[in-house]
A and B are shown apart, each in its own frame.
Chain A
Amino acid sequence: MRYTSLLHPMFLQSRFLPSVRRLAATVFMLLSVGGSADAQSSPAPDSPWSRPAHDLLTKALDKAGSPSTVTIDVENRSALSSSDLQSIRQAFDNELRAAKVKVVRMESALSEMKFILSRNARGLLWIAQVKQGTSEQVSMLEFVDPSNARSASPALFQLQRSLLLSRTSPMLDVAVGDNYLLVLGSEQLSLYPRDSPGASPMASVFISHLNIWPRDLRGRLFTSGDTFAAYLPGVRCRGTVRPALMAQCSESDDPWPLLPGDPSASAFFSSGRNHYSGVLAGNLSAASVPAFFSATRLGDSDGAVWLFAGTDGFTRLYIRIEKSPQPVRTVASLGSDMAALQTNCGSRWQLLVTGDGDESSPDTLQAFEIASEIKDRAAAVVSDKLSFSGPVTALWSAPDPSRAIAITRNPGKDTYEAHSVSLTCGR
């Protein structure tokens, strides 16, 4: 089958697209009859739009009794990009072909099929309207926008993990020393031998605090030589690892450093909450961003990008953090936890993010790269997913920039596990 569109694909990719979109929000897919399907390039099998296109079309055809011939009209009401629109059109084509429904001219069609690509407060809402004579069937599919969340380009790199420690009590953060692990728990700081994941603690000290910990307690641990600083909501501890594990904790609203090895970039953590308030401090001072769960920086020069995983479910990318910083891009569903990796792969900076799911389901980690063009700043997948048997409860950048610390809960063993995660180039 040979397809002819009013808007040539090359034209859709052109710089004139915005005005084209304004002028013609409705993109007609006029498809000629006859010819061979081979002439049309096949969509990527892992296109994020394949599944929703399949699901919506299945619903629509079920309701409409699977007409053998249809006309197609796709209306973009959600400001999807031209490339997404092309992929979606292609996905619908494929699904129709698989369902043995022929796309024909209006005069020989049994049904008119219109797909409205809309958006609502929760994400994307795709609507299929099927008109047959005087009757009209409406089907809808609501789903999270995958173009914001996850790009589906082929994986380039491979994530690897090594188990640092497994224990029954929760861990908030882990610092890896030359021959020890320092672990921040909810009530104790504990010292473990390194390279012995099942070991018992060599020493522990209690964390004194007056306030009641919030649910979903979070904390950070930073080491510098033999000293450390631990941050919990409303509490800061300072101490030493050697010659003996010692800690002094006190109530504190001081900001938490955001990056290991760079205490100057910091942010206030909401006491009694599980997130940062959004008010920045240190060399990011006088600025505030929406409240966020985690923040990280990709790059270490003027071209660095700051990412903030907002509590509103959006991840915001900033190039400059100044008094009233404006994100260059806001994307949905990159997850609440993220960490930066500096590697020898690709652009040398990758973003590690957690997968979908709640606190009871298995989780994944995946690496992304942020496109360098300022106007786009799209996140592209660069690794396969690294799976865990339970949720990732914490994910932090490590002082060694090529590694991140991931803490997971293993529901099968009822344990918490700390992993060191790194990236290797190639698959």
Chain B
Amino acid sequence: MKRTAFRLLAAASLWLVALGAASAEERPRYGGTLRVQMKEAVLSFDPTDDKELTAARTRLAFLIFDRLTQIDDQGRVRPQLAWSWTSDAEHKTWRFTLRSGVLFHDGTQLSGAHVVGHFARANDPRWQVRLGNGPQVVVFECANPIYDLPAILASPRYSVVLHAEKPEGTGPFRVESWQPGRQLLLAANLDYFEGRPYLDAVDIQMGNSLRDQVIDARLDRDELLEVDIEQALRLQSARQRVDTSSPSRLLALVFRTQNPALRELLARSIDRNAIHAAILKKSGSPAVSLLPQWLTGYAVLMNDVPDPARLQKLRSDLSKAAPLYLAFDPSDPLNKAIADRIAVNARDVGLTVQVFGEKNLSASSRADALLFTFPAPSANSTQALIELAEAAQVDQNDVLSAGSPEDLFVAEDSLLGAYRVAPIAHLPVTVWLSTRIRNWKTLPEGRWRLEQVWLDSVK
């Protein structure tokens, strides 16, 4: 008996020593407020309103709202609010079964009726949404086959929003206070169905000019700063912690002119390699495809081998073309340099391009072309191409019916062939991070997964 007791004591001591030592070590700590600086002055955090879904709004959407599905790091579709889904053989009828027990931030329980009402308001002509058998089953009846609807519905633009006094989501963070264009204070959603975030709060300041000296001053105050390419390079050389995603943001010309020959000539005239090397300081990669090579694997097929005969024909057809107006966003100084370079390239093929800065690019009324940076898409090629097509307002039917990489390649090739969008470069998303930030994960598309982040107390 005595020996048994001794053994018990010895064994217990061993565990206590081991666990006691471990408990003194670093562990994921709950709590703390993450202070973030975003460049864009976001005026609405509701991703389903009719405003342009910019990169900043996309990031906020992922923090506050959920979607029926989500895309993982490898581009696979995973359940989110929908626990499972099935389709008919034609891919025209899709049934989604919702997770039970999910709460909106105001305490309302998510039901199929909410989802149906939400999608009915959007009135998307591609599908009709109705309740299925049971309150948690939602059925999408598509006008035409949509091969990968679950991937499409993972887009932030299909976030499920409860339009109460303010837009309510089910996401990992709820809105605590909101000053449009200035500050968004988020608090952890303690009832989040995937577990509450480690952080207590996220304080997002926005719309501030982040010049170099401002950034330097903020390094001691903030934990996360959006920085541009040049700033990232400078901070990296100063041994600061900078996170760079895969090159995924598409910098492109989006044409408004209805003259296809003019679009093609300007697109063909761009010296992408020079822009990449001289202006972008070799950050990211020159682009001739809409989606980057790392994402699709087939972008290597989309080469830009010069076609002098075609160029000559376009030049002679457009010898008397009127000047073309190219608008760029002046908030990033690189945009002006790139626009100027495009104008120089255009001059080489006999086109006159006049560049001008426009704060609200998509509202520009006099531009024939916009120098536009598309937000980084997800790691799912289908969803990414749909997103680009929607943002560029070009036909997406081929993409919707794409069921294989070949189909997607053909669809993308077809989009490119219309010369509505002329890719220039794929750019990474760059942020400066405080050393306090732990569990930060670089996602290929530059999304912030702040629900996984925790703060170390030591800076």
> Chain A residues in contact with chain B, CB under 8 A?
75, 77-78, 116, 118-125, 127, 129, 138-140, 142, 214, 224-227, 229, 238, 240, 253-255, 257, 263-264, 266, 268, 270-273, 277-279, 281-282, 285-286, 288, 290-291, 312-313
Residue of B nearest to A63 (CB): B406
- A279 x B27 contact (CB < 8 A): yes
A140 & B404 in contact (Cβ 8 Å cutoff): yes
Known: A142-B405, A254-B23. A120 touches B296 (CB 8 A): yes
CA distance A257 to B44 in the complex (A): 46
Q: Given A122-B75, A140-B409, A227-B11, does the pair A282, B25 have CB atoms closer than 8 Å? A: yes
A140 and B381: CB pair below 8 A?
no
Contact B27 A281 (CB under 8 A): yes
Q: Check: B321 CB closer than 8 A to any chain A CB.
A: no
| A253 contacts across to B, CB distance below 8 A | 27
Q: Is the CB–CB distance between B8 and A285 below 8 Å?
A: no
Q: Is the CB of B22 within 8 A of A266?
A: yes
Residues of B within 8 A of A121 (CB): 73-75, 294-295, 379-381, 444
- Smallest distance from the beta carbon of B385 to chain A beta carbons, Å? 13
Cα-based distance from A366 to B441 in the complex (angstroms): 31
Q: How far is the CA of A129 from the CA of B381 in the complex (A)?
A: 21
With a cutoff of 8 Å between Cβ atoms, the chain A residues found around residue B12 in the complex are 227, 238
B26 and A279 contacting across the interface, CB-CB below 8 Å: yes
Q: Is B135 part of the contact surface with A, judged by Cβ < 8 Å?
A: no
Interface residues of B in 376-429 (CB under 8 A from A): 379-381, 404-406, 409
Question: For B294, what are the chain A residues with a Cβ–Cβ distance below 8 Å?
Answer: 119-121
Known: A116-B300, A225-B7. A272 touches B73 (CB 8 A): no
Of the candidate stretches B13-21, B106-114, B329-337, B346-354, the one touching chain A is: B13-21
Is B50 close to A, CB under 8 A?
no
Cβ-based interface call for B88 (8 A) = no
- The one of A214, A257, A277 in contact with B28, judged by C-beta atoms closer than 8 angstroms, is A277
- In angstroms, Cα B300 to Cα A129, docked, is 12
| A118-B18 contact in complex given A278-B439, A279-B26, C-beta closer than 8 Å | no
CB contacts between A and B, total, < 8 Å: 138
Cβ of B234 within 8 Å of any chain A Cβ, yes or no, is no
- Please tell me if the beta carbons of A281 and B404 are within 8 angstroms of each other in the complex: no
Q: From A75, A266, A271, give the contact of B18 (CB < 8 A).
A: A266
Contact B297 A288 (CB under 8 A): no
Q: Select one of A116, A271, A282, A312 contacting B21, CB under 8 A.
A: A282
Chain B neighbourhood of A224, CB < 8 A? 11, 14-15
Instruction: Report yes or no: B27 in contact with A255, Cβ–Cβ below 8 A.
Output: yes
A124–B298 Cα distance when bound, in Å, is 11
Task: Tell me the chain B residues, 43-81 only, with Cβ under 8 Å from chain A.
Answer: 73-76
Q: Which of A78, A116, A227 contacts B301 (CB 8 A)?
A: A116
Q: How large is the interface on B (under 10, 10 to 19, 20 to 34, 35 or more residues)?
A: 35 or more
The 8 closest A-B pairs by CB, nearest first: A125-B297, A120-B297, A272-B195, A285-B25, A263-B18, A118-B297, A281-B22, A121-B75
| Cβ-defined contact, B409 with A120, below 8 A | no
* Complex Cα gap A12–B205 (Å): 55
What CA separation (Å) do A124 and B15 show in the bound complex? 46
User: Does more than half of chain A's interface fall in helix, strand or loop, or is it mixed?
Assistant: strand
Cross-interface CB contact of B22 among A77, A122, A285, cutoff 8 Å:
A285
Question: Contact at A285–B26, with CB atoms within 8 Å?
Answer: yes
Q: Which of B8, B11, B18, B439 makes the CB contact (< 8 A) with A277?
A: B439
Q: For B406, list chain A residues within 8 Å (CB).
A: 138-140
In the bound complex, how far is the Cα of B15 from the Cα of A5, in angstroms?
A: 63
Instruction: Give which listed residue, B11, B19, B75, B380, contacts A254 with CB less than 8 A.
Output: B19
Q: Which residues of B contact A142 (CB under 8 A)?
A: 297, 404-405
Question: Which chain B residue has the least Cβ–Cβ distance from A312?
Answer: B73
Q: Name which of B22, B300, B301, B381 has the most chain A CB atoms within 10 A of its CB.
A: B22
Asked if A238 and B15 sit within 8 Å, CB to CB, the answer is yes
- Check B22 against A282 for contact (C-beta < 8 Å): yes
Q: How far is the CB of A27 from chain B (nearest CB, A)?
A: 15
Q: A227: which B residues are within 8 A, CB to CB? A: 8, 11-12, 15
Q: Report B242 CB to chain A, min CB distance, Å.
A: 15
18 more A-B contacts (CB under 8 A) besides A142-B404, A281-B23, A281-B27?
A: A78-B297, A120-B293, A120-B294, A120-B296, A120-B381, A121-B74, A122-B76, A127-B297, A127-B300, A140-B405, A225-B8, A254-B22, A255-B27, A272-B196, A279-B26, A279-B28, A285-B22, A313-B73
In the complex, the chain A residue whose C-beta lies closest to that of B445 is A121
B404: A residues at CB distance < 8 A: 140, 142
Complex Cα gap A257–B23 (Å): 12
Known contacts A279-B438, A286-B26, A313-B74; is-contact A127 B195 (Cβ 8 Å) = no
Report the separation of the CA atoms of residues A240 and B294 in the bound assembly, to the nearest whole angstrom.
54
Within residues 1 to 42 of chain B, which ones have a CB less than 8 A from any CB in chain A?
Answer: 4, 7-8, 11-12, 14-15, 18-19, 21-23, 25-28
Per the bound structure, the CA–CA distance linking A121 and B405 in Å amounts to 12
Cβ distance B404 to chain A, nearest Cβ, rounded Å: 7
Contact of A118 among B22, B23, B73, B300 (CB under 8 A): B300
Specify which of B293, B297, B381, B444 lies most central, judged by the most chain A CB atoms within 10 Å of its CB: B297
Q: Is A127 a contact partner of B298 (Cβ separation < 8 A)? A: yes
Residues of chain B contacted by A124 (CB below 8 angstroms):
297
What are 21 A-B residue pairs whose CB atoms fall within 8 Å in the complex? A77-B300, A118-B298, A120-B297, A120-B381, A121-B380, A122-B74, A125-B405, A129-B301, A224-B14, A255-B23, A257-B18, A263-B14, A263-B18, A263-B19, A268-B27, A272-B194, A281-B23, A285-B22, A286-B25, A312-B73, A313-B73
Shortest C-beta distance, A386 to chain B (Å), equals 27
Q: Is the CB of A225 within 8 A of B18?
A: no
Residue of B nearest to A139 (CB): B406
**Shortest distance in angstroms between B296's beta carbon and chain A's nearest beta carbon?**
5
For A263, list chain B residues within 8 Å (CB): 14-15, 18-19
| Minimum distance in angstroms from B458 CB to a CB of chain A | 11
Residues of A within 8 A of B438 (CB): 279, 288
Contact B18 A273 (CB under 8 A): no
